[in-house]
Amino acid sequence: MSAEATNPEAVPTDVTVRRRGRARIELRRLGRAALLNATAGPAPRDRLPDAISHVAEAHRAHHPEADLTVLGRAYVLAESSHRGQFRKSGEPYITHPLAVTLILAELGAETTTLTASLLHDTVEDTEVTLDQVRREFGAEVAYLVDGVTKVEKIDYGAAAEPETFRKMLVATGSDVRVMSIKLADRLHNMRTLGVMRPEKQARIAKVTRDVLIPLAERLGVQALKTELEDLVFAILHPEEYETTRALVADNPGAADELGAVADQVTAVLREAGIGAEVLVRPRHFVSVHRVRLKRGELRGCDFGRLLVLVAEDADCYGVLGELHTCFTPVISEFKDFIAAPKFNLYQSLHTAIAAPDGAVAEVLIRTHRMHKVAEAGVVALGNPHVGQEPDGTAPAAGLPQPDDGERVDPTRPGWLSRLLDWQQSAPDPDTFWTSLRADLAEDDEITVFHADGSAPGTISLPAGASCVDAAYAQHGEAAHACLGARVNGRLAPLSTVLGDGDTVQLLLAQDTVSGPSPEWLDHARTPAARIAITGWLQAHPESAATPAPTDPRPQVSVPADRRSGAELHADLDGEPPAAVRPAGCCTPVPPDEITGFLVRGGSVTVHRARCSAVDTMRGLGREPVTVRWGDTVQGRVTLVAESFGRPGLLADLTEAIATFGAAVVSANVEPPTEQRVRHTYTLQLPDAAGLAALMKAMRDVPGVYDVSRARHSRGLG
């Protein structure tokens, strides 16, 4: 089955261009074969029933050594149990599990998945029991059949959709093969939806569009996703579909233009000694429709893309280099999904090149292995529980096993794990349903990195996510105590929107009193963050009810202590200075390098040598005065502490200051801004040499992210 062309016959290609995949199987013919097989009696034990010959052929193409005996037995049980049942189209019902199994076989599913697919409706619709399936086919097949059975109501029963999808996700989370079977089941139902009433077609198509297509995208099963998109497009937007279909039909030479570019690419790669297979990939109808909306009038190369398949990862970049050297690249179209794979396991290089005649062709470059995963996603990864014991009940050594006894799927994508985490916290099915649809509507995802290097090292978030989302993605409910973050090494408020590749260090309070504010909901984009914040606010109504101040709060001040600071001396010709005092803008203390300037009143103001006021004074033509420290070790200094607001912060800071024997001459706490608080302390130090250690102790107070010497301007005299 082709992932690009839902209707392969619509766009003919040059005969020199190889095409992968097979034509769609005629399901009515399969139904007749199944019926004839049933009336003719069981097939000989040494060969498969004729009705599943297509399945066997497709399966052996991916798994040459597969044992097909179990498929034969599963078909016999499915056919006999469904005998006498018919679909609404009039076909024998066995054609449905056969078609579903064929879809999965063409995607490369392993034997266990195909066996469960043949049997997926038997427990729900026939007299076959789950115990019977377990006895005849093992615990693994029974587990998958049971998982699919639990979500069968998804096709019908709109009122129960939220809770049904919640159960479906739980089942999928334990084994992604359950969702693989479900998606193939929905694809065949969509193919044969024409026998239903228009309003029912529309309802099923909308659910498919809103939930199942995004799930197929996230599971990486592009072959299913693209065909589902076209089928939904035809039902929900029939006029646009017909316009697009006619547009494709009216441009039969499109593949010739792409084929000509493909020949040029093939010649370039052959000359460079790179072994590659160059294919023309016609776009499916929805893709053509989107390109038309984006570009307006379409040219021949817009109806498809080139696919270059190579053997090794390094060859991908070799191909890219040759294409960008021998053709004119469209730099804005370049994307590297090999170095940074997409959230659904997709890897490929994307670029676009302009041929000498001006034709611009999009090119996908990937290895054969990448191509298999790009087409089939998690289906191509095989049995995620291959390390289990033969009875499927106990994992082998090294296979993760959670405390509740459920199996852990090592192929489970990270987004699915997050989805399962927050769905458990959703207070009701409607909240879950709303959050699910919003999450699945996100087309783009970004990756940010932990600044502390902790495993797994990266966080995947939807585009537009903020530091709030990163906090809950990394720390779960512990993020309630988040005070702020450093983004790319710089302090940032929690409202900061993150970009792809950003480095994030989240700062948490050490106490358990801190919690989120209602404003966090304005910055939370992920369901996990929103549900966790809402739950905490509901559990702590006193916090949510406290209004944020609209006017600046009065500053907190401590009266100044007039004790003298360190001894200073100034060397002046003539009259001695009226006073020698440290400047308030930089508050120098021993053993800082200092310089002085004569100011009004005959006093000398002493600055640190690197104070910005020194350059200003020199610019005004003021001559510096030689100053020096006396013998005393005391000193007065002004420090500025930047912190995140939390209960008890002021007490903790003053305690750290007192521990070093420093006296608080004055203190000022400015009103919070975006949860950040600025503290200014003028301190009398018993020994100025201990200033660096004092500043470090203040920085170690939870919530404090920086402590620096004061740099504010106090006037130049």
Backbone angles phi, psi at 583, to 5 degrees: -75, 140
Spatial distance between the Cα atoms of 63 and 30, rounded to a whole number of angstroms: 23
In 3D space, the residue among 184, 50, 28 whose CA is nearest the CA of residue 113 turns out to be: 184
Question: End-to-end CA distance of the chain, in Å?
Answer: 83
Q: Which residues contact 222 (CB under 8 A, 6 or more apart)?
A: 3, 216, 346, 374, 375, 377
Cross-strand bridge partners of residue 672: none
| Residue 106 main-chain phi, psi, to 5 deg | -70, -25
Beta bridge partners of 638: 682
List C-alpha distances in Å: 29 to 51, 54, 105.
Answer: 9, 11, 18
CA–CA separation, 123 and 585 (whole Å) = 81
Examine the residue annotation and report whether 406 is marked as an active-site residue of this protein: no
Q: What does the alpha-carbon distance between residue 274 and residue 322 come to, in Å, rounded to a whole number?
A: 9
Distance between CA 472 and CA 524 in Å, rounded? 10
Closest to 399 (Cα-Cα) out of 378, 380, 383, 376? 383
Complete DSSP assignment for 17-58: S---S-PPP-HHHHHHHHHHHHHT-PPPTTS--GGGHHHHHH
The verdict on whether 124 is a catalytic residue reads yes
Give the integer Cα–Cα distance in Å for 184 and 96: 10
Three-state SS at 467: helix
Q: Is the peptide bond before 591 cis (omega within 30 degrees of 0)?
A: yes
Q: Which helix (H) or strand (E) holds 422?
A: helix 414-423
Q: What is the residue type of 573?
A: D
- Strands of 94-178, DSSP E: none
What gap in Å lies between CA 100 and CA 191, rounded to an integer? 11
Q: Which residues contact 389 (CB under 8 A, 6 or more apart)?
A: 395, 396
Question: Measured between alpha carbons, how far is 366 from 348 in angstroms, rounded to an integer?
Answer: 5
Which listed residue (26, 57, 124, 406) is catalytic? 124
Q: Which of 125, 136, 277, 336 is catalytic?
A: 125
Residue 414: strand, helix, or coil:
helix
668: helix, coil or strand? strand
CB 382 within 8 A of CB 110: yes
Active site members: 124-125
